[in-house]
Structures are given as structure tokens and as C-alpha cells.
């Protein structure tokens, strides 16, 4: 256990019932003695008990909307929050379909939260903002080879625009308050808990492998894939490990095209004895997001973070989804 975890912290995770929020909470429960407050419009103790059955004494639900600055301020004070991970936000499809709500939730909600932190009686020691690789442009906008983390952002949709703006809000928050602040930019998540968004279909395919059912992943593009428990560990580490200042980090990932993922799924299916029912195909669509992103600066800042090998992560995912 690190020095930061030697004493009890009170950590607020907004969007705490989402994929990253749940995985980060599990990592924190296993690696620190922190008390976690799950903030979400849908948060309740029953949902908390289902997600964290062995740690309900250390996890509390807080029904909260990031659009309410007063409610956020009151929650921070009542729970004496010392660290905050801001995971709440609408994903790309919802942002495209409901732009005003996406603007209010993803951008105004971030501003509301940092204003609440500024006004809170308990001093927050660390603020972590969930950004995205969607702040970058399409892969063709950058040279061949590894894409430096510091490359110019060129968002291809409003989701990426609002995430980039959220990073600037977070940077300004650090400059105004001195609170150590980190923006994390995950790529295409897969594995347990991933069920929504443009790049969730590889996870859906793994679920179909586990059940012996046919499924087609609609796109064949190369992506930077991240195993959801690894992302939870990375976010948890950014909350409690030593860090000074402000930075935006791309998280460790596996760059692979869809055919590579499907071949690894096929190998795992053979290993698990379900190769006969394997029927995963690939469509013709392309997704516009970046890949080949550099992530060494994150590992330099947080050297304790480990990355699960891609084939093993796929195997663990399929086993988790339950092989019949």
C-alpha cells in the first residue's frame, strides 16, 4: 500500500456506476482503505451492493446530478471529500443525438463540479477528469508511426470537442487553486462493464463467443484498445499515487485491427473448448478515431501501473461473460 493510501481518504467518483467508475472503485477498494462515494443520477444502495457486494461498508451511493452546483457543493461538504474522479458524461451516440443535453452534461457539468470543489470546506487534494482520445483527429491527420501524446487535438465530433474543453477547464482549475489535477484519455475500452458507445462492439462479440452465438463487428478499423480493469487501475492510481501539477495523459493501450482481435478470440475459444460454435465476422465500416498513440509519459509518471497482455485480457473477458 502506498503512502497516500496509509490513511483513509474520502473519494467521490461521479458517473461511478459506469464502466470506468466501477473498475476504478474496485481497484481502490482492493488497494487502499479509502471510502468511496458513488455519485450518479441512478445511484442507490441496492446498485452499490450489487456492484461491490464485499465492500458495502466502504461504498456509499449519492444520487446527484452534475448540473446542480448547489447539490454538488453540499455533497462535497457532507461527505468531506478529499479526492474526486469525474467520470460522469454522455457518450458519443447520445451527444450526437441530444446535443444540448450533451453540452450541459459534459461541459457545464464539469464546470459545476470544479466550482463546487472550490467552494467546499474540505480541501480536495486531487482532481481527475475523464477525457478521451476523441480529442484527437482521425488517424490520417497524423504522420506514420507512434503519434506523440502532445500532438495537436483535432476532434472529429462534439463529444471530442467537449472533452477537450473539459481538459482546459481542469487545467484552469489547477492554475486557480493549486489542486493537483490529471486529465486521462482512454481509448476504446473492452471487457467487463463495457456495453455502450461506438467501439463497444468487440466486447459484444466476446459475449457472443461465451454464449456460442453469431455476431458481426461492424467495423474493421485499427484502434487503441484498453482492458477495462486496467483502465480502472490506471484511474485509481492517478487518484492516490504521488503527482504534482497538471497533465493530460493517454493511457496504456494495445493497437490492433479488428481482424487481430477476432483471431485472438478464435484462439481463446479453442482453448476454452467452444471453437465449434465460434462465429464472429467483420463488417466493412470504418471508425474515425485515432490509434497508435504514445503512452510512455503515463507510465513514467505512474510506473506501478501494469497492463494485461491483449490475448489474456480477451480470455479473461470471455470467461467473465460465462462460457456455456
Domain contains 69: yes
Residue with cell 462493464: 193
Domain contains 37: yes
**CATH code for the domain of 101:** 3.40.50.720
pLDDT in tens, 104-153: 999 999 999 999 999 999 999 999 999 999 999 999 999 999 999 999 99
pLDDT in tens, 271-314: 999 999 999 999 998 887 799 999 999 999 999 999 999 999 99
User: What is the distance between the alpha carbons of residues 4 and 45, in angstroms, rounded to a whole number?
Assistant: 27
**Nearest to 69, CA basis, from 17, 18, 118, 15:** 118
Name the helix (H) or strand (E) containing 226: strand 223-227
User: What is the distance between the alpha carbons of residues 129 and 109, in angstroms, rounded to a whole number?
Assistant: 12
Q: How confident is the model at residue 36 (pLDDT cuts 50, 70, 90)?
A: very high
Domain contains 63: yes
pLDDT in tens, 7-29: 579 999 999 989 999 999 999 99
**Nearest to 170, CA basis, from 156, 158, 185:** 185
> Stretch 177-204: mean pLDDT, rounded?
91
- The mean pLDDT of the chain is 92
Domain contains 202: no
Provide the pLDDT for residue 324: 62
> Stretch 221-240: mean pLDDT, rounded?
96
Domain contains 213: no
**Nearest to 84, CA basis, from 54, 101, 105, 62:** 62
Q: How confident is the model at residue 57 (pLDDT cuts 50, 70, 90)?
A: confident
Sign of CA pseudo-dihedral 84, 85, 88, 92: positive
Cell of 34: 479509502
Domain contains 324: no
Task: Give the distance from CA 137 to its chain's centroid.
Answer: 19
Domain contains 269: no
Beta bridge partners of 227: 190
Provide the pLDDT for residue 44: 79
CA dihedral 5, 53, 252, 149 (to 10 degrees): -70
Name the helix (H) or strand (E) containing 228: helix 228-240
Cβ-based neighbour number of residue 117 at 10 Å: 22
As for how many domains the chain has, the answer is 1
Q: Is the pLDDT of residue 165 over 80?
A: yes
Residue with cell 460522469: 88
Domain contains 198: no
Q: Is the pLDDT of residue 239 over 50?
A: yes
Provide the pLDDT for residue 5: 42
Q: Which domain holds residue 85?
A: 3-189+228-253+287-307
User: What is the distance between the alpha carbons of residues 170 and 316, in angstroms, rounded to a whole number?
Assistant: 34
Amino acid at each position: 500500500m502506498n503512502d497516500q493510501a496509509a490513511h483513509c481518504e474520502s473519494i467521490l467518483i461521479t458517473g461511478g456506476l459506469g464502466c470506468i467508475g466501477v473498475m476504478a472503485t474496485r481497484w481502490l477498494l482492493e488497494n487502499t482503505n479509502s471510502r468511496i462515494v458513488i455519485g450518479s443520477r441512478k445511484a442507490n444502495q441496492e446498485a452499490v451492493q450489487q456492484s461491490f457486494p464485499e465492500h458495502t461498508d466502504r461504498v456509499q451511493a449519492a444520487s446527484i446530478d452534475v448540473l446542480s452546483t448547489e447539490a454538488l457543493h453540499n455533497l462535497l461538504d457532507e461527505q468531506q471529500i478529499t479526492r474526486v474522479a469525474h467520470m460522469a458524461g454522455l457518450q458519443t451516440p447520445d451527444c450526437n443525438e441530444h446535443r444540448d443535453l450533451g453540452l450541459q452534461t459534459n461541459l457545464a457539468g464539469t464546470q459545476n463540479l470544479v466550482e463546487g470543489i472550490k467552494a467546499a470546506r474540505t480541501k480536495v487534494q486531487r482532481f481527475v477528469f475523464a477525457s478521451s482520445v476523441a480529442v484527437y483527429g482521425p488517424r490520417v491527420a497524423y504522420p506514420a508511426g507512434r503519434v506523440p501524446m502532445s500532438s495537436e487535438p483535432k476532434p472529429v465530433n462534439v463529444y471530442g470537442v467537449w472533452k477537450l474543453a473539459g481538459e482546459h477547464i481542469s487545467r484552469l482549475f489547477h492554475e486557480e487553486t493549486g489542486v493537483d489535477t490529471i486529465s486521462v484519455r482512454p481509448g476504446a475500452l473492452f471487457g467487463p462493464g463495457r456495453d455502450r458507445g461506438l467501439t463497444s462492439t468487440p466486447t459484444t462479440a466476446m459475449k457472443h463467443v461465451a454464449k456460442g452465438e453469431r455476431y458481426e463487428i461492424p467495423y474493421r478499423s485499427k484502434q487503441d484498445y484498453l482492458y477495462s480493469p486496467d483502465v480502472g487501475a490506471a484511474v485509481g492510481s492517478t487518484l492516490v499515487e504521488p503527482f504534482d501539477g497538471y497533465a493530460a495523459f493517454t493511457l496504456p493501450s494495445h493497437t490492433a485491427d479488428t481482424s487481430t482481435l477476432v483471431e485472438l478470440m478464435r484462439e481463446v475459444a479453442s482453448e476454452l473448448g467452444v471453437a465449434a460454435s465460434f462465429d464472429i465476422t467483420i463488417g466493412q465500416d470504418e471508425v474515425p478515431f485515432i490509434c497508435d498513440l504514445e503512452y510512455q509519459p503515463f507510465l513514467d509518471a505512474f510506473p506501478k501501473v501494469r497492463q494485461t497482455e491483449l490475448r489474456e485480457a480477451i480470455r479473461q473477458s470471455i470467461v467473465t461473460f460465462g462460457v456455456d
